[in-house]
Amino acid sequence: ELKVEQNPLFLSMQEGKNYTIYCNYSTTSDRLYWYRQDPGKSLESLFVLLSNGAVKQEGRLMASLDTKARLSTLHITAAVHDLSATYFCAVDMYMRFGAGTRLTVKP
């Protein structure tokens, strides 16, 4: 059974700092998704990674995928308060989700 582990589950950052969220998964998959969820809101698609070595960037967020290591990372550069949210990774075409990383960016 496919298992998806995210870490950390909680992350408190100061504005301007960099950090990385990790998403490990247990069986082979060639696709990985990152989503953002604000409190009480729905999920917003951030990235779709479809191949080994894929790297995508949007603003202060950059996601990468290493299918051989079964690892994806979401890197946050120079965090700002607006990035505070819960970030989920999901693996395979039917979306096995990680537990989520609750990010809080403090001034």
Partner 1 sequence: DSGVTQTPKHLITATGQRVTLRCSPRSGDLSVYWYQQSLDQGLQFLIQYYNGEERAKGNILERFSAQQFPDLHSELNLSSLELGDSALYFCASSAALAGGVADTQYFGPGTRLTVL
DSSP 82: G
Per rule CB under 8 A, count of chain residues that contact partner 1: 18
What's the gap between Cα 62 and its chain centre?
A: 9
CB 86, CB 74: distance < 8 Å: no
Q: Are strands 85-91 and 19-25 parallel, antiparallel or unpaired?
A: unpaired
Tokens of 57: 């960037």
Residue 2 makes contact with partner 1 by CB under 8 A: no
Site for partner 1 in 9-48 (CB under 8 A): 33, 35, 41-45, 48
Judged by beta carbon, residue 42 or residue 68, the one nearer partner 1 is 42
Residue 94 makes contact with partner 1 by CB under 8 A: yes
Minimum distance, C-beta of residue 9 to partner 1, in the bound complex (Å): 11
Give me the residues that bind partner 1 (CB under 8 A), please: 33, 35, 41-45, 48, 50, 88, 90, 93-97, 99-100
